[in-house]
Structure 1
Amino acid sequence: MSFSGKKFRRVKCENIKELLASTHANDDIVRVIKTKAPFVTYTLLDGNTLLMDLEIDGKKMSHTFRLGEEHVMKKNDGGTVKMTYTVEGNSVIKQVIKMPDGKTAYFRREFNDNEIKMIVTMDGTDLTGTIYYELVQ
């Protein structure tokens, strides 16, 4: 995987505020997307396990996911969301997040050597947001 083990930092967003406003997204998603430029690293541990390291405002979080399997993740407020990660080829990670309110968010991360282009769509709107990350290390 071309992206495995590389650290990226968010550099710009397009249409994200409009997307979040149109869907009344839950506070956790809004916070993660709007927070100061997070750093993210995805590492493929074996053929079916993905490690995501996320650093936001100096706080580090790590999550390990089995590809293709739905995982329950606790939110800061004690609630849960269900997430599924899949990998396409050597350069795309897809993520589906099912919220307790029944809405679903879709994230498609397209990697190249020096950047990630993340395309975000959500149930309830035709809008698409895009978030760009650049390689840090």
Structure 2
Amino acid sequence: MNQIDQKTLVIFQPRFEKPTVLPFVKEGISAGFPSPADDFLDLSIDLNQELIKHPSTTFYGRVRGDSMINAGLNDGDLLIIDKSLEPTNRKIAVCFVDGEFTVKRIAIEKDKIWLIAENKKYSPILVTEDNDFIIWGIVTTVIKNVS
């Protein structure tokens, strides 16, 4: 299949009206033996400050579809997208192609741009002059539900 597989990504910009500060276990949480984490709950973290480096150029988007599952991006995952970052080879980018948003790994050659899915069901897409195309932003973080 050589098509944009995503439904339109829902894109929205975060609001920073007031910080959301939550308890934080600074020492890390052991995935092996239990640790006495209660001693560290006095610390706090604001995820906006932790995950968003350029608030005026940062947006959220929700993944729709399965073309990026082998990169760890699953249907319903929340992406943090920074429009100020330089699109470089092998980055995961949100692109606007012929009226639709899609998320793909970009492959930049001398005079060609390829959009590469991370699922063997989908063929790479060569961007041509005939496409209405822009690399809209670079994915910096993926937030996923695990339950």
Question: TM-score, normalised to structure 2's length?
Answer: 0.30
Question: TM-score, normalised to structure 1's length?
Answer: 0.32
Q: Which has the higher contact order (CA 8 A, sep 6+)?
A: 1
